Chains A and B, each alone.
Chain A
Amino acid sequence: MCYPVRSAERTGARIIQLLHNIGHAMIMLMEAVWFSRLAFGPRSRRETMTQMYVTGIKSLPVITVVALFIGMILALQTGLELQRYGQEKYIGSAVAVVMIREMGPFMSALIIAASVGSAIAAQIGTMVVSEEVAALEVMSINPNRFLVVPRLVALVIMMPLLAVYTNILGILGGAVVGTTQLDVSFRAYMDNALDIAHNKDLYVGLLKAFIFGIIIATVACHQGFMTTEGAVGVGRSTRRSVVVSFLVILVIGYMITRLFYI
């Protein structure tokens, strides 16, 4: 077989595999959404609460540091430019708009995809290679209900809360720079920040965080279930989970912004 034909065949096979994976992930997500009504039922409550704790509380230290510094960097970079035109008093508005519309949901999603999403993919992947998922199936326990639902529900509840937390910390980080390095009073900074923040910005930001939660849970669980070939496969699934989540979050984030602001 000549090279172009082989190449076309390989490309075709990859496209088919990609579509197969997307279809599999969508079926898994739909089934998990159907079962999500049981997330706080007697059989799943404990696991759902555990996942909420892991996703929300355990991620707070890293999110705190990242959010504060993102706010500080934003304030510094934007403030220096505004200072050239004598408009540094608007630094609060600039930081608030960027944090609430984009950086809050986006940065918290990236952190959660890298920390919680990778851990989910690794855990489920390890369960697949050690036949724990097969054991659930032969015990007639649906792995989607047992494993995906608690993680999905935890992520869609905690992501918007984490995004709000990131927004607040980011704006406070900006205030530190504004008051200490740009000679803007804290009161003026906060008045400015709150003036510019419309309800729509907050709602769109929360919607993004909610959708990012679905993306992280779906990608991570799906990559975990697709794991083959032992420890090497678990490593591959974990890496893919982070990379695919980042890409999908970027693309979907752009599309939501375009939908609501253009």
Chain B
Amino acid sequence: MAAELASRQLERVLYLVPRASGPDGASIAELAAEMEVSPERILRDIEEVTARDYYHPAGWVADLQISVEKDTVTVWTTGELRRPVRLSPREALALALGLRLLADGSEGRRREELLSLAGRLDHGLASVPAEPMTAVFALDGGDPHGNGLLALVRNGAAERSRCRLAYLKPGQTEPEGRLVAPYALVFSRGHWYVIGHSVEADAVRVFRLDRVLEAEPTAETFEIPSDFDPADYVEEGAVFQAGEEVEAVVRYSRSIARWISEREEVEENPDGSVVVRHRVADPRWIVRHVLSYGPEAEIVEPAEMRDLVRETVAPERHAGG
């Protein structure tokens, strides 16, 4: 624990020093936000560095001089430590795996470019190349089986260009053509969703990526409205179509309660089962959801959704799947 703490402190200090060694120093609040720690933590780190002056012998020239004024820290160095250090083995591994995730969602030449870049950055920026460590990982970034859809839509979101989608809703007989301005991509519970403006509906809609059968980029550009906030389409870790949802109460049996409790807000029953209140925009979604758990999940209410499960299952009793 102590070693871990020291290692994190060292990483912070080796970043903080070059950041604050410019003529204007650096804001402590900004440093804290960048490093995701409290300003007090940053001040304690600084204190520990400056305290080195007390135990060094007389005549020793401090390699680092740090001053804190109001909320700004300024560092003077003897010339060293004014650059960030190379990527650590774990940072290099994160970069290598991140590029492999992007490559997983790309095809052909683009995929090769990303893999080649991964090799170049690994050897150029890392203190120790991560390549030997990557062999024990296999990654699937959630792009539906490497079709390149995720990369295409991400690119549309980054470049602010619309995408044309062939979208197949569950239960539909034909895919629908949609011209969509992808505002944000959201990963939730094993699926990627595109939240974007649908030209056809003239409204923001949510699309599940694995239901996109085809996609192509267009040259049409868009701007994201200033009042758009993806958080409006997210609640308790799930994505939903804002404004159209109803509550569905689902009971999960004791045998799977442990797993449900880890990912949902649950109400516990005396028999060990748990209840979850889902906000549902599409009743077909909740039907598929409970059926995916077989008899271990049951819609408690509303009655119309129970009816829907019964109607869905009835033909199966005769058809045999």
Q: Do A and B bind each other?
A: no
